[in-house]
Chain A
Amino acid sequence: MSLTLNHYLFASGLLFSIGFAGVLLRRNILTIFMCLELMLNSANLSLVAFSRFNVGPEGLPNYNAQILVFFIITVAAAEVAVGLAIIVALFRARQTTHVEDISTLKF
């Protein structure tokens, strides 16, 4: 049995749902952040699969999708930096990373 596009899309969807379940189930803010990264990466997997599936007239994959993956990785790196800075600031103020202990908006 040869590999089809649906194999990759299904793998990507499973990865997304694992990350999504993690965001809903876990209560540690750092683990929630890691699950967010998993969800971003599942989108990358389906984009790269679509890029390889759409071979253009010159016989090359569609590189526009890979550029989008490049931008997603860049934005995710910036997001991780800002998010972790917020988590450190939150930890300094509250001494906890448990989301149920941080339930008010004001400091």
Chain B
Amino acid sequence: MSPVLFWLFTLLMLGFATSVVVNRNPVASALSLVGAFLALAALFVGLDAYFIAVIQVLVYAGAVMVLFLFIIMLLDLKAEQRRRFNIVTLLGGSIVAAGFIAELTALLSKFQLGKRGFPTLPGAKPVDDVYQVGMTLFTTHNLPLQVTGVLILVATIGVIILSRRELK
């Protein structure tokens, strides 16, 4: 991936992510989240992970965000009015986030392996990505795939029960 594209999409991703946190209107937050996911999908394409990029756009930017917008519409949420700032959470959140970034910087400055560039792929440039992911998924990781199927079944049943029962 050319560095210009990397910086462009990283800045887009971080900008949209910040706007998710800063916006008071939940609809604006959800749409910013779509933007962040699309920029992330572009970064995945730059890393030659075409299948993951497509899944990211279809599942995250498509299905999951439609679900979010649908729930926002169903609950009829307005932009939240300005409440009194809770100084403890504000301070705690900034300190923990800043500490995390500082620790990450210290760690990555010592991580010599990560200072190397990415190796080039010797084969044909569009790798047969879907074939490789499918082969790995259905041979090496077949059992986790089946377990994920059970998980989705349980989640579906859970959602039906949760939305049916009257909670008083």
Query: Given A14-B14, A31-B26, A52-B48, A80 and B167 touching (CB < 8 A)?
Result: no
Query: Given A3-B3, A34-B33, A60-B132, A17 and B158 touching (CB < 8 A)?
Result: no
Known: A25-B89, A82-B159. 16 other contacts (CB 8 A): A6-B114, A11-B14, A15-B36, A19-B17, A44-B52, A45-B44, A52-B47, A53-B118, A55-B119, A59-B122, A78-B151, A82-B162, A84-B67, A84-B71, A88-B71, A98-B80
Chain A residue, CB-CB nearest to B60: A73
Chain B interface (Cβ within 8 Å of chain A)? 1, 3, 6, 10, 13-14, 17-18, 20-21, 26, 29-30, 33, 36-37, 40, 43-44, 47-49, 51-52, 55-56, 59-60, 63-64, 67-68, 71-72, 74-75, 77, 80, 83, 86, 89-90, 92-94, 96-97, 100-101, 104-105, 108, 111, 113-119, 121-123, 127, 132-133, 136-137, 140-141, 144, 148, 151-152, 155-156, 158-159, 162-163, 165, 167-168
Report yes or no: B49 in contact with A73, Cβ–Cβ below 8 A. no
- Chain A residues whose CB sits within 8 angstroms of the CB of B40 once the complex forms: 41, 44-45
Whether A102 is near chain B, meaning CB under 8 Å from some CB there, is: no
Tell me which of A34, A89, A90 contacts B29 (CB under 8 A): A34
Report yes or no: A4 in contact with B68, Cβ–Cβ below 8 A. no
Query: Given A19-B17, A38-B33, A25 and B64 touching (CB < 8 A)?
Result: no
- Chain A residues whose CB sits within 8 angstroms of the CB of B68 once the complex forms: 30, 33-34, 80, 84
A94 to chain B minimum Cβ distance, whole angstroms, is: 9
- Chain A residues whose CB sits within 8 angstroms of the CB of B55 once the complex forms: 70, 73
Report yes or no: A9 in contact with B167, Cβ–Cβ below 8 A. no
- Chain B residues whose CB sits within 8 angstroms of the CB of A64 once the complex forms: 136, 140-141
Chain B residue, CB-CB nearest to A31: B29
